[in-house]
Amino acid sequence: MRKLFGTDGIRGLANVAPMTAETAMAVAIAAGKVLRKSHHRPRVLIGKDTRLSGYMFENALTAGFLSIGMDVLLLGPMPTPAVAMLTRSLRADLGVMISASHNPHHDNGIKLFGADGYKLSDELEAEIERHIGDDSGRVEPEKLGRARRIDDAPGRYIEFAKATFPKGLSLDGLKIVVDCANGAAYRVAPTVLWELGAEIVPLAIDPDGFNINKDCGATHVETLQQAVVAHGAHVGLALDGDADRLQLVDEKGRLIDGDQVLAAIARAWKADGKLRKGTVVATVMSNLGLERWLEGESLTLTRTKVGDRYVLEAMRELDANLGGEQSGHVILSDYATTGDGLIAGLQMLASIVQSGKNTSDVAHVFEALPQLLENVRFASAPPLDDAKVKAAIAAAEKKLGRNGRVLIRKSGTEPLVRVMAEGPTDDAVRDAVGGIVSALIDAGGTKAGGSKASAPAAKPTPKADATAAGGPGRRAKPQRGAAE
């Protein structure tokens, strides 16, 4: 059983156990011992997002890898999918991404990729945990590893991303607002879109170590919605802190979530003969509307546990090439080994260009069922076996019947119980979720933030002062805490 690794690596409050420099060094030593190969000088890539604590973890991981004789290639701030791609491209034994994804700046995390660019399996992560604390792999002084920076890493990823856009197409004539969340893609994403021909309005490209995901990015799309309307843009793209997830906004300022992106790409790829096995892989959180639409198109939806790693595992098992999460992780395995917000965005932009239609016509594919998600926080193990909690869940399921569903799950990254319901009306899902949440609170929980409804976002009121930093392809000036 894994205790340190969750559904997306190791994550927590920076400089508080388990996310300490000491843990990072121990993980580096253990991971290097498990994953390094013997037929060449072992090497590891390390990338990070723009959190201030990234410096601390970068140095701690580097020290651990060097101590067991591995060479370290430092990428600086780069998207998670770029680390996965470069791990393969540069023939490294291991890739490491230092990021807590969409979490606030005070959190951080460590994600590990194998030599093939895929996230490690649960079994490999468990094996790494078993080796933590075993210092037997330390080498003699003359065999210590060396560390160096890869200065052309951003350029390598920029060219890779551009190559996924269909040949013969360009983004000429499109005005695109791109929100980089003050995160890992703050340099590369605007550059890719501009070099493909678009007019760019960049947002959140001035990281200072503290403002990653703060009121911006894929988890805070209100600023993007306002900017798209205010600037008369054709489309808006929002990435998160490590750029592995995507949210879109149409020309009317309405949100397009990951389920709609999956449907739009499935429709385009089916028409082009590119959708393998007639299958889309998504998690248990994806809307029933997506499942029903796919059935109507004679396509199959396969559901997995929450977590893009489980989506990818199912995709590999089924030989499917399209999968993702409602939250915006979209995996296009013809191009990438993990979710890539920018590449998913490029596929959506290609569909818009090829159709000659508005984003709203291309990206709103199906009618989503009303869906509500609320979180309940617990200081200890959540009482899901409590009789009143079980009774509330059963009552909600009976009331919704075949017209909806209830999903209760423990978070893999936080001490939360997530309560989700779908049904025919907003009132039905509010009643279902409310009854279960009340029972959980009576059993010792406290209502947490993060409630989410699936109803389309209302058209935002244009603001004359909608902020847009810089011009096409502008590179943000590093400030205090910003990565090199």
- Could you give the residue numbers annotated as active site? 101
CB 309 within 8 A of CB 7: yes
Residues 6+ apart with CB under 8 A from 40: 91
With vertex at residue 189, the alpha carbon angle to CA 188 and CA 194, rounded to the nearest 5 degrees, is 100
In sequence order, what E strands does 173-289 have? 175-179, 199-203, 235-239, 246-249, 255-256, 279-283
Residues 6+ apart with CB under 8 A from 1: 126
Distance (Å, rounded) from C-alpha 285 to C-alpha 407?
8
For the chain, the maximum distance between any two Cα atoms, rounded to a whole number of angstroms, is 70
Q: What do you get for the CA distance between the two ends of the chain, in Å?
A: 37
Distance (Å, rounded) from C-alpha 418 to C-alpha 369?
18
Distance (Å, rounded) from C-alpha 278 to C-alpha 421?
28
Strand partners, 236: 177, 249
Q: How far is CA 342 from the centre of its chain?
A: 11
